[in-house]
Structure 1
Amino acid sequence: MADFLYLASQSPRRRQLLEQIGVRAELLLPNADGDVAEDAEAIEAVLPGESPEAYVQRVTGLKLDAAVARHARRALAAAPILCSDTTVALDGRIFGKPEDAADAARMLAVLAGREHQVLTAVAVQAAGRRWAALSVSTVRFAAMTPAQIDAYVASGEPLGKAGAYGIQGRVAAHVEHLAGSYSGIMGLPLYETAQLLRAAGFVV
């Protein structure tokens, strides 16, 4: 078994989280020179009537499928491939990455003063086998004034993040309570990830 894994994620936080538990990750990202174009937006589209749980697990599986194909095309050395996806949900409604600052402000206005779920799915493939897990955490924001929301959006932090926030950033000043996996809310639940890697024969 290799002493590293391939991480199919653009998120620097996921790589840092893996380092936290002593796992070395090599990035396995799409659209390198001469690579086959991959439609990430199509993968992340929500299907009609799809639950947040089904959505995040399906998207993670599709991203892992794409990463496994990418690995084969590039004829890379064998090692486990890890993929993860995070979504935010309130009353069964999925809050993905905001399209722009106005969309981020709209999401935060809905989440403010409410309790919502953060769902992170993680999947590992090694030697033709696949292992998967789902982490569900709960976060409650305090009420936020329009000025507070605007100030947070102006920081640029909400863009590119599910639910328009990063738990490890400035929004922490507005988090009243959380229950579950802090690393899962960041984007990679370390307990579940370590379990999957061990199941795949990787030493953690």
Structure 2
Amino acid sequence: MEFVLASQSPARLGVLRSAGIDPVVRVSGVDEDAVAAALVDPRPEDVVVALAEAKARTVVGEFADAVVVGCDSMLHFGGDLMGKPGTPEIARERWLAMAGGRGHLLTGHAVLRVKDGVVVDSAGGAGSTAVRFADPSPAEIDAYVATGEPLGVAGAFTLDGRGGWFVDAIEGDWSSVIGISLPLTRRLLAAIGISVTDLWRPNP
């Protein structure tokens, strides 16, 4: 049985490898805006779970015997859901708003069991971790945005990169903030009858 990560995130891949799993990586190419727009009056958690499931279901047809994991992350701050900013202007605007504030990094997960190319079982859920941001100066924000790092990550920050300098504290699961919650993924795997320890790479 293959473990498939339906994500292009190097941070998620790094978390899994550090935790003993060497996944097969497939990038879904899902139109995230279209998936989110199709939801009717969703809660913030519903959005990230729906996006995670859409990513996982897009790649299942490539595998005969696998567990496929999809993930999506967004920052819930000031009543708004923030995905990837995409441009320096938006990233800077978000950081000016977030500085000194507190938000919740939401990570949605979907786990699909595939046999003979067909999804036979699934489980999904979301994790929420509180993030307390530092109060960087405008010059520090400009320098961070200029690195390009915040443009392609949820909420315009990373915990495990240069953005970590500007995060004062988190309350909850650190792995969820990086992009894939190990505790939640373990529980979802168990819900479909798979023990995460059976997926670990063999000891050298």
TM-score, with normalisation over the residues of structure 2?
Answer: 0.85
- The residue number in structure 2 matching 1:189 is 181
1:157 aligned partner: 149
Aligned: 1:118 with 2:105 = yes
- Residues 43-88 of structure 1: CA distance to partner in whole angstroms, max 9, x if unpaired? 35585754321211221222222223xxx2x4x3311111011000
Count of residue pairs the alignment pairs up: 191
1:66 to 55, 58, 61: 58
**Secondary structure at the residue paired with 2:151?**
coil
CA distance, structure 2, for counterparts of residue 187 and residue 140 of structure 1: 17
The partner residue of 1:78 within 65, 79, 97 is 65
Determine which of 72, 76, 79 is the counterpart of 1:92: 79
Stretches of structure 1 that go unaligned for 5 or more consecutive residues are 32-37
- CA deviation after TM superposition for structure 1 residue 202, in Å: 4.1
In 1, distance between residues paired with 2:101 and 2:4?
37
User: Would you say the 8 A contact 1:101–1:159 is kept in 2?
Assistant: yes
Counterpart Cα distance in 2 of 1:43 and 1:157: 25
1:10 aligns with 2:8: yes
Q: Deviations over 1:68-111 (max 9, x none)?
A: 3xxx2x4x331111101100011321111112001100111111
Q: How large is the Cα RMSD of the aligned pairs?
A: 1.9
Percent same amino acid at aligned positions? 34
Q: CA separation in 2, counterparts of 1:49 and 1:105? A: 29
CA contact (8 A) 2:7 2:71 kept: yes
* One-letter code aligned to 1:192: L
Give the letter aligned to residue 83 of structure 1.
G
Give the drift of 1:142. 1.7
Matched, 1:28 2:34: no
Distance 1:77 1:50 in 2: 33
Q: Distance in 2 between matches of 1:44 and 1:187?
A: 19
Query: What is the rounded CA distance, in whole Å, between the counterparts of 2:93 and 2:68 in structure 1?
Result: 35
Q: Which residue type is aligned with residue 135 of structure 2?
A: A
Q: For residues 29 and 142 of structure 1, what CA distance do their matches in structure 2 show? A: 33
48-57 or 76-85, larger mean C-alpha shift: 48-57
Note if 1:103 corresponds to 2:103: no
* Equivalent in the alignment of 1:170: 162
Structure 1 residues 52, 46: closer, same or farther in 2, change over 3 A? Answer: farther
